[in-house]
Structure 1
Amino acid sequence: MEVFCKNYSHQFLTFDAGFKTTIPKEPVVNQFELFNQVILILNVFDREIFEPLQGSIKFLDETNPGTVNYLGNGRYQMELSVGKNHELEILVPNYEPYIFTFDLSSAILFNEFERDVELEPSKTQFEINIADMETDEAINEVEIVITNLEKNETIVKKVRKDENGKFIVDLRAGDKYEIDVNGPKGYAFYNTKVDMSDTENKKLDVKLKPLKAKTKLVLNDITFETNSADLNTSSYEELDRVIKLLIDNPEIKIEISAHSDNVGSDAYNLKLSSKRAQSVVDYLISGQLPLERLIAKGYGESMPVASNDTEENRAKNRRVELKIIDVNENENPQENE
């Protein structure tokens, strides 16, 4: 037996009227309720990394919108009317819009449902051009490592070349990335950060420095404890790049140069910068680099790259540089092992 009412749920009953012994004296009563609302829970996730997402859900049928409550952790609860085919638009910043359809116009037996929805992240094609800093000729034999700083996701092999030989990668809109370019032997590494919340940010031109005598590289994110030569752990990532560079290019000898701003006396800044340069060299030695390829030197405030009139400029002067002081073209990598 089927019991139903327009815009209400259905109820199916089974009734055995084939009495084999005695007929009941009292009527057989079966009580039940029909309902005109159901509860739907949607679990909204990132399709690629399955993280829960928070955004908004809009009912496309404005004549009879339902109610939506966000429960946290990507879970949304809503009440929907029975007897309708519901269309909902799920919107999350930096993800493709998603239309979710839930048909309650046929026979409805239950008053609670749960469904999973996976959203596709919006992506932008990002172009990377890599060339020799001196000749401007394209360099193709490179390793590009791209790390999503928001999702802790690393992309290495997904970078591809287009028909013009340019490196192309699809990056998530709105996320921040760190890009490492490791050139072939004889070139310095390159590191930078890009913010894909900038809709105009679709291209990066990288100029790699050839490793020659007197070449200087400013090392990024090398920081120390205040008034101390102790390296902050955030410096290790950049210094590990230096270790790899020196291992891949055993013919070069370098100086680690530490510089300061003009806060404090000349003597104090010279002494502190010398200690900081030595701390960097000590870290490089811990990476199995031979001491004879490394020189530590502090310059204090004697070689500013900007005036010390603002905090921003003083920060530019507080820096650590790598300077190539010798290139032994006859160096045999096997002798260095």
Structure 2
Amino acid sequence: MRLTVSFLVFLASLYSSVLWGQTEFRLGVEVRDKYTKRPLVPIVSVLAVNTESELPGQMVNDAYVVKVNPGTQYQVFVAFQEYKTYRQTHTFEAGTPSATGYFPFVIDLEPLNPPKTFAVANSANAGHTILVIDKAQRSIVAKAVVTIKDDRSGQFITAKKNPNVGGSWLAELKDTEQYTLEVSAPEYETYKSSLKIKPGEATEVVLNRIPKQELKFVAIDALTNKPVAAQFKLSDEIKESYTGTTNAEGSIFNPTVVVQKQPYNLSVIASGYRRYESKLSITATSSAPATPQIIKLSKVDVILKIRIIEEQSGQPIVANLRVIDQADKRAILNIKGTPEGQAVTPISPGHQYIIEAEAKGFMSYQQPLDKVLPLLTETSDLTVKLTKIDDTYLSLTATDANTGQRIPAIFKITASATEQTTEVRGTTSSIAKHKIKEPDIYKIEVISNGYQSVTHDLDAEEMKVGQVFSYEAKLAPNAAKPAISPSHVFTFKVLDAQSRRSIPNLRFRITSIATQKAIPTKVRYAYVTTQLFLDQAYLVEAEANGYEMYSMRINAGDWAKRGEYLTNISLISQKKAAAKGKPVVNEKIFDNIKAGQTLTIEDNVYFDQSSYILRPEAYGQLNRLAVIMAKNADIKIEIVGHTDNIGDPRLNQTLSEQRAKVIANYLINQGATEANIAHRGEGQSKPIAPNDSEENRQRNRRVQFLIK
């Protein structure tokens, strides 16, 4: 029925709220070693599917925190040296935030060279570790209940929460015994399986969330289309039941229901209106935003008076008439030979109907009631006009192949014998008709804006007077043509960091972060060339036997703006890196410190590459500094971390901050006064040498102690 202007405005605002009403939440991406569970600080990128823009984020403790919307698909990309790159698509749902104010999402990175056996961090000699993880989000499930039964003795084994590793439980289990493990948690399907542990390895239990679907309902008056205050109940007559109300201002009933095979019964009641009941099947989830389902409530039946006449003369026709209720496909009226071409039937304004009429010598009639009579009143009159068939006709319609809805189209009809072509048009509410005079095979081409055209051969060689040949064309929508983005050729020069010579057996890879597909490259000696789209970001990886792996993330558009089409990459020999692994540490460097003095120490003295975990070699030097500060309360220091310009600037900034913070915390734990210590990170922003060689980049990777 026809919507009033006010209700159209209401629906528009309602639809807008559906699109924008999702509540974003803070997601913390925590990355750790798959085997040791040691925290890592890698390159992390999160971007919505089918977009090129990376979500802005910041490091909070050991997590990279971004804001995401529930139900939206995101691509998560994680890269770290000596680890396999992580590329997965996830849909996040808000859960219970951690004490830091974000919902944790844990990623376990697989090392390139995994150990043969491993033990979960901090669980040695405490029993077997059982990790409980959300399957879709790879986040910990904190509120799980873990039950373990010894199959041989029938006794239950106690499982206690591991205080050192979140989302894990400890139990005294033997590798010689067989157990039955059952894990349950609110909002998750129960996990049950046999268990036989392996020495030194944790057991990971992956839980599936119970699938749910958001629904929206609004009640309106079937005649006026105005919102109605109503009570809703959605139940499956077994265990699930959802209730709610709407008001006369147009509020919605918005339940989130369990997806199941059992259909739901929807019941709607409102004062002064008839009770509405229907069945609703929710058998699969949908990532699309829920759109309101409009429930039309009626106070009384509408009396529908139908009059059937000949279109040409206007005279009444005795015809066969059917009125079909679309809700259950039931004919509420079925008359063979309407007396004087008239019929009367009660209908419910909240239902949809199809009107069908046919009479000998006339073209059949079939139309939705709301198309031919958009506005109902308590007594509604409908005139059905039938077209007399004096000749033979083609009856042509076009529908959307996906939705089945009728669409406007042009029909080009070509007779095979004469090759003459005639065009007729059909609309969403009318059938295209074409009179044919000679028996023939007619070629029909169907064209509609936004759809792929189709052709069909209609055989009318055995035509009879008054015969109607019907054809319904099903058109597929055109595929959207992606816009071609600008691109440019980029060149990478890869050399040995020490000898400055090309590297044999170089393996060079560029991956689009948006599509996760490898980009074709051409390698000639030390030069690698490739064509990159300027609106995309890429991961660049270079490796060779005997060298440390190199990786960085680039935004092609930003590089093009700066004219950086040639990039030099230096690979470090593993022998050289190993030689630098244990530098000589001067433990007396802080013995004669004075106010105004600045001491600079290369970062590899304190840390391994890309790590902020202190090396044991640094303990003696820092212990000596802590003692000096404890004895001299007037000494104040500021610790400043610096990096070179290799890799993601955001990661470099975070790494420098974390390293300075770790050194400060170590000194405080060793007895230095916290008020006398400040720390900050400068990332790659303050180099002391050009980043044009490995030697200069080594000078820029440093930790400074500013004595005050």
Indicate whether the TM-score tops 0.5. no
> Which of 1 and 2 has greater Rg?
2
TM-score, length of structure 2 as denominator length: 0.20
TM-score, length of structure 1 as denominator length: 0.36
Between the two structures, name the one with larger relative contact order (CA 8 Å, sep ≥ 6). 1
